[in-house]
Amino acid sequence: MLKLLDLFAGAGGLSLGLTEAGFEPIFACDLKPVFMGAYSLNHPQVKALTSDIRNLAPESILQELSLAQGELDLLAGGPPCQGFSINAPFRSVLDERNHLFRYFLKFVEVFAPKSILIENVPGLVSFENGRTLDDILESLSDLGYSAEAKILGAAYYGVPQARWRTIIIGLRAKDLPAAIFPEPTYKAPLKVNFTATLQGKCLVKYPNYKASLNFVTIDEAIGDLPPLVNGQRGEALKEYLCPPLNAYQLSARIGSPGVSNHEAPNLTAINLQRLKFIKPGDNWTSIPDHLLPKGLRLARKSDHTKRYGRVRPQDLASTILTKCDPHWGAYFHYAQDRVFTVREAARIQSFPDRYVFTGSMADQYAEVGNAVPPLLAKCIGLAIRSVLEKANIGGDLTAG
């Protein structure tokens, strides 16, 4: 197995996908104890440390893991992205979260891994007019890595939601082969609503003619989960509604004894009133003005199109965030008068049902929403693994 370190690991979506691609996580860390609790529960064999990366000594960790410099196969991580996000209310170089990648680079310097994977939001490309992304790429180059950034649409890789991620891959070599980024295999109706170019070059990796599969719909992703009414909790482990109806559901059930983390939050009375007017495909504009929040009463009908949304069952889900609050997105269930449960959000993120989330319900939503979709991570990992194996067969990875 190829050795992996996962920094800013969260609940472990990146580690899970990379494990399924043939990597073995041997160390992971995150600042939040509840995230590391979920990580350790699902990855019990990994040394998982709750710590601020700024307080870690990479040299000590290298020694503790009994690794020689240059022996690690992949160093991966997603430095906190809120400061980079185009949806953030305030983006500034003064935001300390925007500098945590420098501590990631310290690990690169000490471990000298064969490959590097950095994950972030598309807003990274436009942040400071691209200077931050340039700084990351130049820093990797100074450390002896060829690196490139691409923006990948998760739906192009079988994830049933409209989610985009900026992916930076570095290789300890002179040239970075095009095959280091996975080719999309699914066709999906994704829209680019962010800056997608850097120095005149489009970073989005679109499907080509070989992408013959249709995207996975939200109903295909969660349609076999047991129905709930608003506020219903029930048994901690529930039975499936029916046998698996498609390959996605069948894969999600592997190794799972039933449906966990499937409890419906309580919608307020006003949200239940609003929901009566929202059909699949509708949003806040279908709600009578007297029931709208004050801010939306003055908004243009063409703005905030995801708020109080109810997606159609045959469509992609909206991007799963750290909470399924209808005020911020299309999180009303398409056929049931409630919002998505943690398990439904996890299915939309491509987590298997055997993966358990811990802490309060709010913690669980955050664990799911902050994660890299494991299926996307797996596709990226398979591409990196293929290049690493070919490089090792062909000669010294550091040649040139």
Q: Which residues are catalytic?
A: 81
| C-alpha dihedral sign at 195, 201, 203, 206 | positive
Rounded CA gap, 240 and 287, in Å? Answer: 33
- Among left, alpha and beta (phi > 0; psi -120 to 50; other), residue 399 is beta
Instruction: Return the structure tokens found at 205.
Output: 């990796």
CA 84/CA 125 separation, integer angstroms = 9
Q: Which strand (E) or helix (H) includes residue 342? A: helix 342-348
Question: Residue 267, SS3?
Answer: coil
Eight-class DSSP state of 319: P
Q: Write the burial class of residue 92 (CB in 10 Å: 0-12 exposed, 13-18 middle, 19+ buried).
A: exposed
Alpha carbon distance 393, 82 (integer Å) = 40
